[in-house]
Amino acid sequence: MGNVIEVEELMKNYTGFQLGKLCLKIPDGCIVGLIGENGAGKTTLLKSLLGIIRADKGSVRIFGKDIKKNEREIKEEIGVVLDNMFFPESLRIKDVNAVMKDVYKKWDTGLFEEYISRFQLPRGKVIKELSKGMRKKLEIAVALSHHPRLLILDEPTSGLDPVARNGILDIFMDFMQDEAHSILFSTHITSDLERIADYIVLINKGNVEFDSPRDELLDHYGILKCGEEEFSRIEKGDAVSYMKNRYDCEVLVKDRDAAAEKYRDFVVDKITLEDFMVLMIKGEKQ
Tell me which H or E stretch contains 272.
none
pLDDT per position as a tens digit, 35-70: 999 989 999 999 999 988 899 999 999 999 999 899
Contacts of 273 (CB under 8 A, 6+ apart): 33, 35, 190, 191, 193, 194, 200, 217, 218
Strands of the sheet with 241-244, listed across from one edge? 241-244, 249-253, 222-226, 267-270
Q: What's the confidence (pLDDT) of residue 85?
A: 64
Return the pLDDT at 140. 95
At the top level of CATH, which class does the domain 3-216 belong to? alpha beta
| Angle, helices 93-101/132-144, rounded to nearest 10 degrees | 30
| Three-state DSSP state, 67 | coil
pLDDT at 16: 85
Contacts of 4 (CB under 8 A, 6+ apart): 26, 27, 28, 29, 62, 63, 149, 150, 182
| Residues in Cβ contact with 138 at an 8 Å cutoff, skipping those fewer than 6 apart | 87, 93, 96, 116, 119, 121, 127, 130
Angstrom distance (rounded) from CA 239 to CA 233:
11
**What is the pTM for the complete model shown?**
0.93
Indicate the domain borders of the chain: 3-216, 221-282
Please enumerate in sequence order all residues whose Cβ is within 8 A of that of 116, keeping only pairs 6 or more positions apart, or say none.
93, 123, 138, 141
**What pLDDT sits at residue 137?**
93
Q: Which residues of the chain have pLDDT under 70?
A: 1, 85
